[in-house]
Amino acid sequence: MDTTPGDTSTSRLPGTVLVIGACGQLGLELTAALREKYEPAHVIAADVRAPKQPELLAGGPFELLDVLDKARLEQLIQQYEPKQIYHLAALLSATAEKDPMFAWKLNMDGLLNVLNLSVQYQVAQVYWPSSIAVFGPDTPRHDTPQLCIMNPNTVYGISKLAGEQWCEWYHRKHGLDVRSLRYPGLIGYKSLPGGGTTDYAVDIYHKAVAGENYQCFLKEDSYLPMMYMPDALKATLDLMHAPADSIKVRTSYNLGAMSFSPAEITASIQQQVPGFEVSYAPDQRQAIADSWPASIDDSAARQDWGWQPDFDLDKMTADMLLHLKEMQP
Ligand code: AKB
């Protein structure tokens, strides 16, 4: 087990890792992965609310933190002297459209609090997730390139695009080693996503395992880029451990694994759960999905730090169904 997170830098020992937004879909799994990799007591989980599944965050410290409370964040940085901060707290696409002003405040001010304090306290590395939501209806929809017209038309996408530019600015102006990935929809069995447009691709597995049918809020031919959680964790940790001079993109890297429609994920599930039925009732999330890419060109990530996904749709389906069945009461 490594005990000093971060790259080879030894600027601050012992190093701790602070995960902000540790109770979210990604945060729960990333915290657990970091605690497997490092000394668990050195990985500090923080969130605005106590975890609903405390067993998933067992084994290391938990701190209450509203990332908009800069004084509290500063106090935690002084207390734990983190070498790395993973800042994951954000409102996702569908929720952000319902409360745009709060979404902008949380997604922007939260990031700026983290970036400013990281410069002030010389945090060695910061990770911040971006999203396929940075792209918009004018973007090429298939194999969306790293660099192209963006023009996002959701509050979430606008905040992620602005955040990417802030990350690049802090790197250029202050030398902050901040790194980022544009995640596609993330699918995992340990926790549920909250408030995203890609959430259907998690919900559908839960219904299939419960022996229920599913009503999908997107159209059956609505293609979106998606990724299984183990690949997302691998990408995040690989990016953070890559040598600094291999990181050529300081806004955020395109990251791809698979692209499928609701009809295709249904067919993949039906191979293992015969009789599972899906009906379609598109809602306001359809317009968000329509504005996003169908598939992603992630060649920059592959070239710069060796990104390579492990899971395709059928492999993910087999693994999701296996684990969800095991977890049934
Ligand atoms: C969402 O659907 O809002 C997120 C995302 C793609 O960033 N899962």
Q: Exposed, middle or buried by CB within 10 Å (0-12, 13-18, 19+), for 156?
A: buried
At 17-62, the pLDDT tens digits run 999 999 999 999 999 999 999 999 999 999 999 988 888 888 899 9
Residue 78 tokens read as 């002084």
pTM: 0.95
Lowest mean pLDDT among 1-10, 169-178, 292-301: 1-10
278 has which bridge partners? Answer: 214
Q: Using CA of residue 32, residue 202, residue 105, residue 152, what is the dihedral sign?
A: positive
What pLDDT sits at residue 56?
82
- The ligand 1 atom at the shortest distance from the C-alpha of residue 186 is 8
14: pLDDT confidence band, cut at 50, 70 and 90? low
What pLDDT sits at residue 184?
98
At 237-278, the pLDDT tens digits run 999 999 999 999 999 999 999 999 999 999 999 999 999 999
What pLDDT sits at residue 11?
34
Q: What angle do CA 121, 125, 131 make, to 5 degrees?
A: 120
In the β-sheet with 16-20, what is the strand arrangement from edge to edge? Answer: 62-64, 43-47, 16-20, 82-87, 125-127, 178-179
- For residue 9, pLDDT over 80 is answered with no
Q: Return mean pLDDT, the chain.
A: 95
Which residue, judged by its Cα, is nearest atom 4 of ligand 1?
A: 196
Question: Separation of 93 CA from ligand 1 center, angstroms?
Answer: 6
At 69-115, the pLDDT tens digits run 999 999 999 999 999 999 999 999 999 999 999 999 999 999 999 99
- The ligand 1 atom at the shortest distance from the C-alpha of residue 195 is 3
203 has which bridge partners? Answer: none
Torsion of CA 246, 249, 254, 257, to 10 degrees: 10
- The ligand 1 atom at the shortest distance from the C-alpha of residue 160 is 7
Mutate to test the pocket of ligand 1, among 158, 191, 199 (most ligand atoms within 8 A of CB): 199
- For residue 207, pLDDT over 70 is answered with yes
Question: Separation of 289 CA from ligand 1 center, angstroms?
Answer: 9
Span 108-125, mean pLDDT? Answer: 98
Which residue, judged by its Cα, is nearest atom 6 of ligand 1?
A: 185
Pocket around ligand 1: residues whose beta carbon is below 6 Å from it? 92-93, 131-133, 156, 183, 185, 196-198
- The predicted complex's ipTM stands at 0.98
Listed in sequence order, the residues at least 6 apart from 326 whose beta carbon sits closer than 8 Å to its beta carbon are none
Q: Which residue has the higher pLDDT, 148 or 12?
A: 148
Q: How many CB atoms lie within 10 A of CB 69?
A: 15
What pLDDT sits at residue 288?
98
